[in-house]
Chain A
Amino acid sequence: MNIDLTDEELAFRDEVRAFFQNELPPQVKEKIQRGLRISREDQIAYQQALYAKGWAGANWPEEYGGTGWSATQKYIFNNEAAAARAPRIIPFGLTMVAPVIYTFGNEEQKQRFLPDILASKVWWCQGYSEPNAGSDLAGLKTRAVRDGDHYIVNGTKTWTTLGHYADWIFCLVRTSDTGKKQEGISFLLIDMNSPGVSVTPIITLDGRREVNEVNFDEVRVPVENLVGEEGKGWTYAKVLLTHERTNIAGVATSKQRLERLRNMLAEPPAGMPSLVDNSVYMARVMETEIELKALEFTELRVLSAVATGKAPGPESSILKIKGTEVQQMIDELYLEAAGHYALPFVPEQYEEGGEANMIEPHFAPDTAPHYYNNRKVTIFGGTNEIQKNIIAKAVLEL
């Protein structure tokens, strides 16, 4: 048992560190430094910088342009990215739909879609959930009916993250009503510009537009956009879920956020209360840190099991549950650190040009909206209750 990095791994770490220091797009770097929000364009510029470096496909097989990184290298990359406070990589294209396409898609689909995903030329969004199919995803009703060499799609997807930015959406759709519900589901790729697709905003508790409802009204989708076989969509989506566990816990980001908080506690910026003498608060900081350390090692254990060829099993639900719980503990610590300046609602001060009349400390007014918004992490990607059901059933065999 050891966690030492080899010389090659140390060299890799330095290379990644240098990338974040020198090769981040300047406007992105500046916004990070000034604590401003990242726009769609910034996000694309960042992901394209990674692509230029050959680092866009961290989890992809090398034959499709992936990095071929080891688990340790991914771990190093995530830590360095978080330390540089780089934006997260939008997962829908690079880490969600791409694996389905390269694993289950045909040659033509691979050639058509993968290069643009890798180069972040096309923005994807995820169309799984529906108003009446959330936790019970298999109850989904969006229908795709075959009509010659097209499917006609009707129905409503909801909670579609950044759907208003997206060029394409990958959907689970119902192609049959016979047999088990899961067996009538297919995996379909839909161009958001198709006639009949409409996107309406859903505003979240932070007052921002992050999610959408996406409506399909008689949308004609060519049959060549079906991935794999009709009726197998559920299996593909599930394979994707159990394989896609890297970084789901957000350990690297949580570590970085906790470290920044510690620095602020040691030297509070103007307007932030001094909290180091509050032992109740400091105990919470310490407990969070301990939980995070345990989680880091749990994640390393899962990663090393994967590296030795074991597929991550349902026990990796731990990563989702504990990872999101720790994130929310940290949100609460920040909220407390903001003191009274958690109260002003001044979203404009996090936008380019909106910093006149700024409320100091700059981080403070964002802590409450962030806390509100981030209640989502225990809800999406399978709620934490559903994750616990999985542990109870599949791990504990109850």
Chain B
Amino acid sequence: MDFALNDIQQMLQDSAAKFIQNDYDFETRRRLSESELGYSEENWKLFAELGWLALPFDEEYGGLGGNLTDLMVLQIELGRGLVVEPFFSSVVLGGNLIQRHGSASQRAELLEPLIAGELKLAFAYIEPQSHTSITDIETSAERSEAGYRLTGHKAVVLGGPSADLLLVAARTSGKRGDRNGLSLFLVDPAQPGVTLKSYPTNDGFRAADIHFDDAKASLLGEVDSAHGAIQATLDDAIVALSAEAVGVMEKLLDATVEFCKVRKQFGQPIGKFQVLQHRMADMFMECEQTRSMLYFGAITATAGGEEASRAASMLKVKVGSAGRLVGQQAVQLHGGMGVSDELDVGHFFKRITMINTLLGSRDEHLQRLIGDAQVA
């Protein structure tokens, strides 16, 4: 048993931490988030140079062949920097789907430019009615002689506005709720049949609602059989997102402890009040418990199989509960400063709040776990 990072992970962590420290302070992040594009293309190129965009992909396509634990190490640091570049949407979701479900030639064709920083992806699967059920898909693809045509509405597609290519989950057979009959399509967002309604998200990222009206689409991998790849990609994505959450939570804790040491009221640092000490001790314990759960999730997911989904749900529940406590208390202990836009702490709080909404909330995963237990 060994929870230490290996050499490669240590290097990865160091390089990410250095990047955040030197090039990504909070004011930089704010400026990028508020810019037209919502992030920096220059940073994206840098991520490519640093090999981050290659991390989870097989070596035969130019990737680094990293596993989920490696990705976790990077994501924790990106969380600490509140990084807004579309790494999660493009690499963790988009890239992994292609690696899992694309044909050999599609992988070669798409992963290479992705790794080089020349292609950005976004995964469109949620629909207004579907919430987080990945089988509740109404978007449909019709096959014609000239290829597939796609019609439907995808909700809150992360990284949608900057994507060069969309990965769209659609139904090719079966009915709403069926596992069989789901397929993945590659769709060029610049064509006439695709309309994006783009917006910032309230944690500083970008997303879009996307309407497809008889849009040209090409099939990724095999028809009707994408469910397994989608599920596995989302399970892995939960681990990656939870890693980001751990970075965010640890920053919230650190910032709060620092603040309570310097903020004085009644002639003493507020950190001397025992009730606040206990509150911060609780935050600390929740951060540690979440990190433990993250390790469990990463290890279980790397092994794959049935247990991976269950572990991902357990992890997401922990992130939801602990993130809520840590985020809310960080704001509370900052007093008025906690709800001001000026300090970074509020922005970490926003991110941890929205992380609960992404990929299924605490309530949803808890309900899912209860349901599974009843069936078993």
Identify the A interface with B (CB < 8 A). Answer: 129, 132, 134-136, 139, 158-159, 202-205, 207, 211, 270-271, 273-274, 278-281, 284, 332, 335-336, 339-346, 357, 359-360, 365, 368-369, 371-373, 375-376, 378-380, 383-385, 388
Contact = CB atoms under 8 A, between A and B. Distances in A.
A376 B275 CA distance: 19
A388 B341 contact: no
Contacts of A207: 341
B72 interface: no
Given A202-B340, A359-B197, A383-B335, 12 more contacts: A202-B342, A271-B128, A279-B370, A332-B324, A336-B361, A340-B357, A345-B202, A357-B197, A359-B209, A379-B336, A383-B332, A384-B332
Given A203-B342, A271-B128, A281-B363, A135 B357 contact: no
A129 to B, nearest CB: 7
Contacts of B338: 375, 379
Contacts of B358: 343
Contacts of A336: 361, 363
B82 to A, nearest CB: 14
B141 to A, nearest CB: 22
A344 B341 contact: no
B350 A341 contact: no
Contacts of A335: 353, 357
A371 B199 CA distance: 19
B353 A388 contact: no
Contacts of B367: 278-281
Contacts, number: 133
A129 B336 CA distance: 10
A372 B353 contact: yes
Contact of A379 (B128, B156, B200, B332): B332
Given A284-B363, A336-B363, A203 B340 contact: yes
Given A203-B340, A271-B128, A344 B366 contact: no
B276 interface: yes
Counting chain B CB atoms within 10 Å of each CB, the highest count among A339, A346, A373 belongs to A339
6 contacts: A135-B335, A205-B341, A205-B346, A372-B339, A375-B332, A378-B332
B276 A385 contact: yes
A159 B202 CA distance: 23
A136 B266 contact: yes
B354 A368 contact: yes
B349 interface: yes
Contacts of A342: 202, 354, 357
A205 B332 contact: no
Interface in B96-146: 126, 128-129, 131
A386 to B, nearest CB: 10
A345 B200 contact: yes
A358 to B, nearest CB: 10
Interface of B: 126, 128-129, 131, 155-156, 197, 199-203, 207, 209, 264-267, 270, 273, 275-276, 324, 328, 331-332, 335-336, 338-342, 346, 349-350, 353-354, 357-358, 361-364, 366-367, 370
A105 B50 CA distance: 70
A205 B349 contact: yes
B334 to A, nearest CB: 9
Nearest to A133: B265
Contacts of A204: 339-341
Contact of B156 (A158, A343, A357, A378): A343
A139 B331 CA distance: 23
B5 to A, nearest CB: 33
A388 B279 CA distance: 14
Contacts of B276: 385
A135 B264 CA distance: 10
Nearest to B209: A359
Counting chain B CB atoms within 10 Å of each CB, the highest count among A274, A279, A369, A375 belongs to A375
Contacts of A274: 131
A375 B331 contact: yes
Contacts of A202: 340-342
A340 B357 CA distance: 7
Contacts of B200: 344-345
A141 to B, nearest CB: 13
Contacts of A346: 199
Nearest to A344: B199
Contacts of B370: 279-280
A380 B335 CA distance: 8
A156 to B, nearest CB: 13
A26 to B, nearest CB: 31
B345 to A, nearest CB: 10
Contacts of A132: 264
B201 A345 contact: yes
A154 to B, nearest CB: 22
A372 B156 contact: no
Nearest to B208: A344
Contacts of A271: 128-129, 155
Given A336-B363, A340-B357, A343-B357, A385 B199 contact: no
A340 to B, nearest CB: 4
B340 to A, nearest CB: 6
A205 B331 CA distance: 11
B24 to A, nearest CB: 21
A205 B204 CA distance: 11
Contact of B131 (A136, A340, A343, A388): A340
Contacts of B131: 273-274, 339-340
A359 B342 CA distance: 28
A340 B339 contact: no
Contacts of B362: 280
Contacts of B366: 280
A129 B265 CA distance: 12
Contacts of A205: 339-341, 346, 349-350
A202 B131 CA distance: 36
